[in-house]
Structure 1
């Protein structure tokens, strides 16, 4: 049985135009996967890129995510549910709380002969690049561009933590940034593991530690600039020093790694 699908208002027309406004239509659509399917968790999960022309002749770009029996168990779903269902709820939560993230265009799930299946369609972030790709050209960027990217990433993580949430898998590849004439923009992706910050600052430092340990390119001064921007402080003070010490204690204990 298929539950009533979610269709974003700004995607309804283009999906209807291509007869892709139903679970079955998206589930059976022939499309090339962007990478090898994930076959963990006892099922499979795949991602395809989708480009659709709207009524104005403009191309709207999406990522079509489909999964079958690719489930996770939680306290609310002890028997398991598709991981995309969890991510879709997170996308909605982030939108309500004003945390910049990827946008959902369509979501639906069903149980087909004992198979838990889900379809999640998200808008492509083609104007953005993940932080790890920015790192690859870090040496080619101007000081002003680097400063803008650092401040934008810090503001994004601060917005997340101000909402009492943590990403819980905050790798550079999940932080999407863009530069434009008015500064930078930032969004988070891959929200399957996000949760409330139950342990307050300890959880927040855990998030920051993950990002810190996997960001090997920035210099020490650039890392400090990130922390100060995250804390909203122009310079180091007693509070900022205590925060940096707490972050470094966790990082030193785990060791820098990719």
Structure 2
């Protein structure tokens, strides 16, 4: 038995056009998985790429994620819930707070005897590349592109923290960036570990420490530009220095525990 699905307004026509606007249709769709299924948590979870032609003849690309008995437990769901349920809730939360992230096109769950199944369909970010890809070719980029990418990254993380949330797994591979004539755009993916920042600034510092620890290829000047974009400053002041010091102390404590 399945509840009525969520279908994004901008996905209704194309899914209906291909007869893919129901749980059953998406569940039975034959596709090749893009990687090996995740088989932990007592079930399985797989990801597929889906391309559909719109009424205008243009292709629209999606990622179809299906899972069966792939559950996570929390205080809110002590008996477990599909991991996609948590991710879908945070996709919606990011959208409500205006934090750029991946977009959900379809979500639904189904219960069968001995099975809890879920489907999450998201739009592919084909115009974007993850930050790891951008920073691996950092020396080949022009000054304007480097500046715009760093500023977009800082503004994205600031928007997340201003919304009172932390990503809790803030690695370069989870930040998707693009450069166009108007600057750079940035979005977050893999949102399922997101949570409220119950500890306030301490949680924000932990998120930033994770990101900056993984940004070793970035020159010091670019890391500083990120901090200025994150704080909304045009020059280093006492607040920026304090934040940098807090991140450094967090990093040192982690290193001592290793």
Alignment match, 2:208? 208
1:65-214 alignment to 2 at 5 Å? 65-214=65-214
**CA drift at 1:253:** 2.3
Q: Paired residue for 2:248?
A: 248
8 A contact 1:213–1:255 mirrored in 2: no
Task: Quote the Cα distance in structure 1 between the aligned partners of 2:234 and 2:65.
Answer: 42
CA positional deviation for 1:240:
1.2
Counterpart secondary structure, 1:225: helix
TM-score, normalised relative to structure 2: 0.97
* Runs (4+) off by over 4 Å: none
Give CA-to-partner distance per residue, 1:64-85, whole Å, 9 cap, x none.
0001111110111101000101
Distance (whole Å) between structure 2 residues aligned to residue 32 and residue 88 of structure 1: 23
SS at match of 1:178: strand
Structure 1 residue matching 2:102: 3-state secondary structure: coil
Q: Secondary structure at the match of 1:60?
A: strand
Number of equivalent positions = 256
Paired residues of 1:72 and 1:80 also in contact (CA < 8 A): yes
Aligned to 1:20: 20
CA distance in 2, matches of 1:229, 1:45: 37
Q: Secondary structure at the match of 2:13?
A: helix
Q: Structure 2 CA distance, aligned partners of 1:114 and 1:2? A: 14
Q: CA deviation at 1:17?
A: 0.8
Q: Which runs of 5+ in 1 are unaligned?
A: none
Relative to the length of structure 1, the TM-score reads 0.97
Q: What is the distance in 2 between the residues matched to 1:19 and 1:255?
A: 53
Partner of 1:233: 233
* In 2, Cα distance between equivalents of 1:138 and 1:208: 21
Report the CA distance shift for 1:143/1:175 in structure 2 as closer, same or farther (over 3 A): same
Rounded to whole Å, the distance in 2 between the matches of 1:5 and 1:144 is 43
- Name the SS of the counterpart of 2:62 in structure 1: strand
Cα drift, residue 238 of structure 1: 1.3
Alpha-carbon contact 1:6-1:108 (below 8 Å) kept: yes
